[in-house]
Amino acid sequence: MTDKNTNLPQFPEPYWRSALTFPSFSKLDKDITTDVLIVGGGITGITSAYLLAKQGIKVTLIEAGEILTGTTGHTTAKITAQHGLIYDQLITEHGEEKAKLYYEANVDGMKLIKDLVEEHSIECNLTAQDAYVYANTDEYKSKVQNELKAYQKLGIRGDYAESIPFSIPCKAAVIMKDQAQFHPLKYLTALISKILEAGGTIYERTTAMKIEDGDPPTVQTDTGYTIKSNQVIVASHFPFNDETGLYFARVYVKRSYVLGIKTDQEYPGGMYYSADNPTRSLRYTELENGEKLILVGGEGHKTGQGISTIEHYEALKDFSSQYFDVTDIPYRWSAQDIMSPDNIPFVGPVTSTHQNVLIATGYAKWGMTNGSIAAKILTDHILQRDNRYAELYAPSRLKGLKNIVQVNADVAKHLIKGKLATILKTPEDLGIDEGAIVKVNGDKAGCYRDHDGQLHIVDSTCTHMGCEVAWNSGDRTWDCPCHSSRYSITGEVLNGPAVEPLKKIR
């Protein structure tokens, strides 16, 4: 269904979840014991469960909602070690040795995906593609050229071009050959069947609320039942067990947007990412009827902050219309990505003293390769095997302290701003499909009037640390500008670090 005011799909829905049947699993209904508990049903959790179950480990995976509905279900699914203009930056911040190690880790993540697709003959539209980072201004042309020099220092095969096969302006581009793209949910659904065949167990609609220290550690769930396990992998995107690592103070979260467009123009192949701001991302995928769907992405910003979110979709629509003869826009969706302060993910024991609780987060929009190698790092830790990337990704490293201060100053600003904001609207002021912070019985509340005219009113105070949520008009959610928890119109948690829903208000 199309919104008559925007010509965009009325409701956001990722293409990956359309025309695909997913397995369903029951809610946890008893206390259980397992060797390894995995929290989170995305690429890291599922790949970890597969690798461990294959080694005869008793694995249990729990998902707060339904599997493959989180960030993995909302990706653009580029399988590449080219992560924007990252290698020149990594050399500056970490030195050539660690920059090269990061590249090799992501190449190995890509290889793991390709090997599993081949081993199990998984039909997931896996195709080899060249990846481009391009610039259309003089400022970013020099940055692209510096990135090429970084490739040369690290021994990365990189080509240089002064154009890309579109009418999009381009002054310079660096190309990483032989990367890939695929349908992520077809791939992971196949791995799920292998997990079950190996004796693994999966529960949906089961939220991990707290980890109690002990030998073994115990996870409390919202169902009232507990899970004891020798090891816990927290692959829930944002670590919910934040008492020890304080990751909410070490990372920040960005949203970005995608349109799935159709055009009669021939797509030339390749995956493209603009260095300039605002960023633009291009790739294609093949629909079930053989027709190509072009994925146009970009418009990143901190969650809960900035302009009305529907305007980001509008900006992508304007970009698409400028460079393509768009015949239809059947899909739109957005994604949430966690950014680490030093541009390397956190993967491994949550702290140096908590070796049996592991986390994986901070993929900075490049979760297909980072998420896959993370699963290998976590698996090797549990199996007591050496992994050459473990130290590079270790959460206990101390880097980016300046960025941490900046992140938390921003949090304080939005906490105060939300508390002092003057509220003028009441629920009666809202039109159809409109949401806003309103005044109810003298207090602030989040209110949305749906397409049937029904009001949905919730407490507007985030249950994580008390910031005031903001209305996300593009996705019809309540988003926290401080630590990026997200809630549905009825208050259910969509993204952490919050685990408690917003209270409903009559």
Gap between the Cα atoms of 122 and 237, Å rounded: 25
Lowest mean pLDDT of 47-51, 74-78, 113-117, 397-401, name the range. Answer: 397-401
CATH of domain 125-179+253-339: 3.30.9.10
Q: In what order do the strands lie in the sheet with 477-479?
A: 470-472, 477-479, 486-487, 493-495
Lowest mean pLDDT of 55-59, 75-79, 361-365, name the range. Answer: 361-365
Gap between the Cα atoms of 273 and 131, Å rounded: 8
Would 15-75+185-250+343-399 and 406-495 be classified into the same CATH topology? no
Average pLDDT on 68-90 reads 94
Give the residue from 74, 136, 11, 85 showing the smallest Cα distance to 334: 74
**Structural element, H or E, at residue 196:** helix 184-197
3-state SS assignment for residue 16? helix
Q: Which amino acid is at 186?
A: K
Which pLDDT band, with edges at 50, 70 and 90, does 213 fall under? confident
pLDDT score recorded for residue 415:
47
pLDDT score recorded for residue 229:
97
Which pLDDT band, with edges at 50, 70 and 90, does 249 fall under? low
Gap between the Cα atoms of 64 and 499, Å rounded: 9
* Residue 193 pLDDT > 90: yes
Average pLDDT on 25-30 reads 97
Q: Which amino acid is at 321?
A: S
| Class of 406-495 in CATH | mainly beta
- pLDDT, tens only, 487-497: 888 888 887 77
CA atoms within 13 Å, Cβ hemisphere of 423: 22
Residue ranges with strand state E in 164-291: 172-181, 201-203, 208-212, 218-221, 226-234, 252-263, 271-274, 280-286
Average pLDDT on 317-327 reads 96
User: Which CATH architecture does the domain made up of 15-75+185-250+343-399 adopt?
Assistant: 3-Layer(bba) Sandwich (3.50)
Domain residue ranges of the chain, discontinuous segments joined by +: 15-75+185-250+343-399, 125-179+253-339, 406-495
- pLDDT, tens only, 53-71: 999 999 999 999 999 988 8
Answer yes or no: pTM beyond 0.85. Answer: yes
**Residue 257 CB partners (closer than 8 Å, separation 6+):** 297, 298, 299, 309, 312, 313, 316, 332, 333, 334, 335, 474
Average pLDDT on 100-113 reads 98
**Residue 480 CB partners (closer than 8 Å, separation 6+):** 303, 304, 462, 464, 467, 469, 470, 486, 498
Lowest mean pLDDT of 320-324, 413-417, 434-438, name the range. Answer: 413-417
